[in-house]
């Protein structure tokens, strides 16, 4: 299919059309739409390149795969990280999510070996083992909050794969730190955000307290590993042992290791848990697809624990996870900030302009997805994927900042879904909602518990 970008300019100007603040305010839309719904409405109303302002900041919204490729790949040298990530350095430090070039590329080279396919493959048994251990505690015929279960499961997995340790004692501290970071988003957009961060506000106290508790945990692990640097098969071992290919004498400092560990710990487990929560809810709503997944899993695993070697035998599990990431991408918008003035398609993008590419809107574009709101994992068979533009689907970002942990996320998603489907049948709670409420903050998460009825399958 060939769809050229639909770019509409304001009459007599080189600025694209977009929503006006005051008409939206008078219609009460500013209070009725969340940010994800707002960006989706923009894409459906104004085309593929949209201009608007928020808190006095100019914003350009990119909704077409060609424009997204230009923004995230071709024009990346013109950009800094987005405003939220810039101001999140107070929490995350100079990790891969927040650092700028050239530091970012050096960090990526140092961290990359920790995410090589062979290393990730070794985590398959950990993923499946923790999943079986968790589900063994489920009682058939009961109702569970699967989001709470997935958060705990993902946290256990990241604790084991990152630190080779059980994080049970730190679960509540880590969960509180994640929640406080989610609450940081509204502050990051305010004009005096930097000054607000220094105030003794309850939100900032929670963020600082969470950071201090996590620092205590992470630095203790680093000290122990420096004292005993043998490779324990975890990401921390790889980060400590990593050296820069361009400068073999250079390795990560304790602060750099801390920043990367904190990034993986906070960002990695929460986004994966959200994706799995949405996927399980979708499967519960679509019993036929769930039954097909159960049959695939039973045939591939034959009642045993999954390993990384089973991944190629689970194409439907991969398609289900991919479709959940399409409909409910945890990274629901990718943003950058123009670091300088530059020319773009006949206009000048000025320094400081925020550039946003909303996965939530692009993944629901009917030009690239027939009946886009339907749950249809078959969209991700090889033949159908080949008909779509590359950047019509980008749940893990794109370009030099594409998520370094993408391979681990896919391994978790596929093996967890297959393990659960082999053993359990999920169904909606009688009288429960047939839609799932979302909360678009730093990540897209379900709004409230995700309650499902569980029944053990009989072989």
Binding-site residues for heme = 403
Comparing CA positions, the residue from 14, 9, 12 lying closest to residue 347 is: 14
CA distance 80 to 349: 13
CA distance 417 to 62: 33
H or E segment and range at residue 446 = strand 444-446
Under a CB-based contact definition with an 8 Å cutoff, are residues 337 and 16 in contact?
no
Question: Quick check: 122 and 233 in contact, CB under 8 A?
Answer: yes
**How far is the C-alpha of 299 from the C-alpha of 422, rounded, in Å?**
9
Concatenate the DSSP letters of all residues of 260-304 into one string: HHHHIIIIIHHHHHHHHHHHHHHHHH-HHHHHHHHHHHHHHHTTS
Label residue 202 exposed, middle or buried (CB < 10 Å: 0-12, 13-18, 19+).
exposed
CB neighbour burial string for 182-193, b if at least 16 within 10 angstroms, e if fewer: bbbbebbeeeeb
Q: Three-class SS of residue 76?
A: helix
* H or E element in which residue 250 lies: strand 247-251
Binding residues: 403
Q: Can the peptide bond before residue 102 be classed as cis, meaning omega within 30 degrees of 0?
A: yes
């Amino acid at each position: 299919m060939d769809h050229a970008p639909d770019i509409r300019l304001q009459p007599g100007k080189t600025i694209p059309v977009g929503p006006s603040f005051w008409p939206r305010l008078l219609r009460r839309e500013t209070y009725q739409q969340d940010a994800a719904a707002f960006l989706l409405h923009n894409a459906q109303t104004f085309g593929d390149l949209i201009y608007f302002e928020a808190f006095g900041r100019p914003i350009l919204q990119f909704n077409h795969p060609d424009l997204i490729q230009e923004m995230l790949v071709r024009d990346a040298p013109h950009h800094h990280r987005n405003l939220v990530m810039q101001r999140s350095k107070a929490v995350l430090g100079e990790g891969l999510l927040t650092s700028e070039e050239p530091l970012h590329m050096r960090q990526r080279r140092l961290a990359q070996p920790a995410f090589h396919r062979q290393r990730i493959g070794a985590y398959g048994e950990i993923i499946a083992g923790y999943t079986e251990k968790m589900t063994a505690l489920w009682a058939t015929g009961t109702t569970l909050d699967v989001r709470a279960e997935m958060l705990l499961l993902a946290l256990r997995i990241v604790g084991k794969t990152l630190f080779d340790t059980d994080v049970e004692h730190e679960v509540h501290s880590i969960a509180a730190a994640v929640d406080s970071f989610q609450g940081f988003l509204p502050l990051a957009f305010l004009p005096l955000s930097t000054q607000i961060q220094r105030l003794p506000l309850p939100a900032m106290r929670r963020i600082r307290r969470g950071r201090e508790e996590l620092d205590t945990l992470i630095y203790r692990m680093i000290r122990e590993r420096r004292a005993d640097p043998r490779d324990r098969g975890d990401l921390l071992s790889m980060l400590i042992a990593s050296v820069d290919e361009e400068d073999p004498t250079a390795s990560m400092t304790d602060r750099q290791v801390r920043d990367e560990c904190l990034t993986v710990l906070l960002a990695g487990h929460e986004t994966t848990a959200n994706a799995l929560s949405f996927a399980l809810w979708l499967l519960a709503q679509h019993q036929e697809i769930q039954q097909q997944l159960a049959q695939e899993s039973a045939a591939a695993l034959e009642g045993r624990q999954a390993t990384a070697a089973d991944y190629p035998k689970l194409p439907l599990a991969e398609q289900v996870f991919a479709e959940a990431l399409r409909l409910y991408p945890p990274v629901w918008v990718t943003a950058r900030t123009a670091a300088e003035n530059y020319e773009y398609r006949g206009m000048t993008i000025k320094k400081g302009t925020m550039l946003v590419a909303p996965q939530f809107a692009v993944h629901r574009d009917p030009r690239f997805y027939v009946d886009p709101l339907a749950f249809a994992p078959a969209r991700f068979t090889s033949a159908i994927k080949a008909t779509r533009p590359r950047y019509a689907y980008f749940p893990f970002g794109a370009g030099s900042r594409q998520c370094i942990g993408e391979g681990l996320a896919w391994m978790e998603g596929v093996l967890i879904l297959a393990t659960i489907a082999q053993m359990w049948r999920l169904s909606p709670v009688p009288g429960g909602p047939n839609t799932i409420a979302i909360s678009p903050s730093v990540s897209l998460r379900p709004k409230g518990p995700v309650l499902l009825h569980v029944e053990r399958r009989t072989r």
